Chain A
Amino acid sequence: MIVIDAASPTPPYEQLRAQLARQIQDRSLAVGTRLPTIRRLAADLGLAVNTVGRAYRELEEAGLIETRGRAGSFVSAAGDQALEQARRAARDYAAVIASIGIDPAEAIRIVEAALGHASTP
């Protein structure tokens, strides 16, 4: 399910991008799943076509989806690779944290702050 809240301070395209990315990464959306067309999703969510187009474009640039011409947009197999890349980065980060002796709770707060910063447009 995708939720777009007009009252949220997060822009609609980012709400859409983040939710689709999360569902692709946690495999709620399996590799090969066909996503709705941009026009269809825009109508469903009451958004402008350009807004949905921007979210799809960013997901495509991140390698999470691929567009196969007129056949539509599909969840890319690269989604698994991206997940593996994130796991690898987390392992590296954990190793750095352990080597410099930072408390794990503090390390998680650092990550949360970094993620919050990263999701800000």
Chain B
Amino acid sequence: MRQADHTEARQWLAKHGLAGAEPTLLLAARLAVRRRAKLVDSLLLAAFLIGAALTHAFGGIAEGTSSRLPLLVLAALVVGLLVAQWLVGWWVRRVDRRAGAQLSRRVAHPVELGWPAVLGRPYAVFTVATFTAALLLAVSVLPVSDSGLRRGAIVVLIGLAGAGAGVIMQLRQVLASPAVAEDEVSLTTDVIMRVEDARALVTPSLVWTLPAIFLYGESLGWWNAVSLALVVAGAIALSLIQIRTAGVGTTARRAMATR
């Protein structure tokens, strides 16, 4: 194992209350692929936002010539983002599966871990509320007479639909992927990774960004204030949830406790 991977695994174990456990090749491999996947995910999101913003800008310039083209381009961007995110998830699962196939001893929990145990209701409610608020904002902007703003609202609606589908799809992957463990410690780390992955998925960076980028028109309006208010309120709510709910390690151990 490379020294950097060993150090990363040791720090990860200590952070999650497993300081006494020895870093293994299995853990190092799983952490490494997740680190790379997180980086690729961030780059994908950035590329999507840049592409969507460019589409929006050029759509505004070309207004009156071909008003459907920007929407088609945006739809293609959403599909591209979803497919790319699915491929990143598939890559992580493939690395996990290969690591698991090399184990001579396999360990699993006898009780299926559902989303309430892994994600937790506060995070689920927060996610639904964030998506709903952004959707309602975009829908309520549609009747506004500013055509640029209307196009922006459609962009937001398409983006939210795509992001929602992406979250559901990836959450299913996180919950359904097989356990990769050879002993009690690695089974605990497996569940901790699930909780971490699930919580990272529902952090609504895209949901906050879309209205703030696209809901602007020829003049500032109430929708701009609401967009910002949603980000501020969402950030406060997420911070409160993170403070008030149990940490990742505790949640994982609770999920593993047999009822």
The reply on B22 being an interface residue by CB < 8 A is: no
The reply on B176 being an interface residue by CB < 8 A is: yes
Q: CB distance A6 to B104 under 8 Å?
A: yes
Q: With both chains docked as a complex, state the minimum distance between the C-beta of A30 and any C-beta of chain B, in angstroms.
A: 6
Contact residues, B16-40 vs A (CB, 8 A): none
Q: CB distance A46 to B106 under 8 Å?
A: yes
Q: CB distance B259 to A30 under 8 Å?
A: yes
Residues of A in contact with B, size category: 20 to 34
- Interface with A: B44-52, B108-116, B150-158, which one? B108-116
Q: CB distance B110 to A2 under 8 Å?
A: yes
Contact residues, A39-67 vs B (CB, 8 A): 40-41, 43-47
Cα–Cα, bound, A19→B106 (Å) = 13
Cα–Cα, bound, A6→B184 (Å) = 17
Cβ-defined partner of A30 (8 Å) among B105, B178, B258: B258
Q: CB distance A6 to B112 under 8 Å?
A: no
CB-defined contacts of A6 to chain B, threshold 8 Å: 104-106
Asked, given contacts A36-B111, A37-B112, whether A45 binds B258 with beta carbons under 8 Å apart, the answer is no
Q: With both chains docked as a complex, state the minimum distance between the C-beta of A63 and any C-beta of chain B, in angstroms.
A: 18
Cβ-defined partner of A2 (8 Å) among B104, B107, B178: B107
Cα–Cα, bound, A46→B180 (Å) = 9
CB-defined contacts of A43 to chain B, threshold 8 Å: 178
The reply on B103 being an interface residue by CB < 8 A is: yes
Cβ-defined partner of A5 (8 Å) among B105, B178, B259: B105
Q: CB distance B104 to A5 under 8 Å?
A: yes
CB-defined contacts of B176 to chain A, threshold 8 Å: 40
CB-CB nearest in chain A for B182: A3
Cα–Cα, bound, A4→B101 (Å) = 13
- Residues 82-124 of B, flagged 1 when their CB comes within 8 A of A and 0 if not, give 0000000000000000001101111111111000000000000
Q: CB distance B105 to A1 under 8 Å?
A: no
Q: CB distance A36 to B112 under 8 Å?
A: yes
Cα–Cα, bound, A43→B187 (Å) = 14
Q: With both chains docked as a complex, state the minimum distance between the C-beta of A74 and any C-beta of chain B, in angstroms.
A: 11
Asked, given contacts A28-B258, A33-B259, A44-B178, whether A23 binds B110 with beta carbons under 8 Å apart, the answer is yes
CB-defined contacts of B184 to chain A, threshold 8 Å: 1
CB-CB nearest in chain B for A23: B110
Q: CB distance A44 to B108 under 8 Å?
A: yes
Q: With both chains docked as a complex, state the minimum distance between the C-beta of B110 and any C-beta of chain A, in angstroms.
A: 5
CB-defined contacts of A1 to chain B, threshold 8 Å: 107-110, 184, 187
Q: With both chains docked as a complex, state the minimum distance between the C-beta of A88 and any C-beta of chain B, in angstroms.
A: 27
Q: Which residues of A contact B (CB under 8 A)?
A: 1-7, 19-20, 23, 28-30, 33-37, 40-41, 43-47, 72
**What are 29 A-B pairs at a CB distance below 8 A?**
A1-B187, A2-B108, A2-B109, A3-B105, A3-B106, A4-B106, A6-B105, A23-B110, A23-B258, A28-B258, A29-B111, A29-B258, A30-B259, A33-B110, A34-B111, A34-B112, A35-B112, A36-B108, A36-B109, A36-B111, A40-B112, A40-B176, A40-B178, A41-B108, A43-B178, A44-B109, A44-B178, A45-B108, A46-B103
Q: Which residues of B contact A (CB under 8 A)?
A: 100-101, 103-112, 176, 178-179, 184, 187, 258-259
- Which A-B residue pairs are the 5 nearest by beta carbons? A44-B108, A43-B178, A44-B179, A36-B112, A45-B106
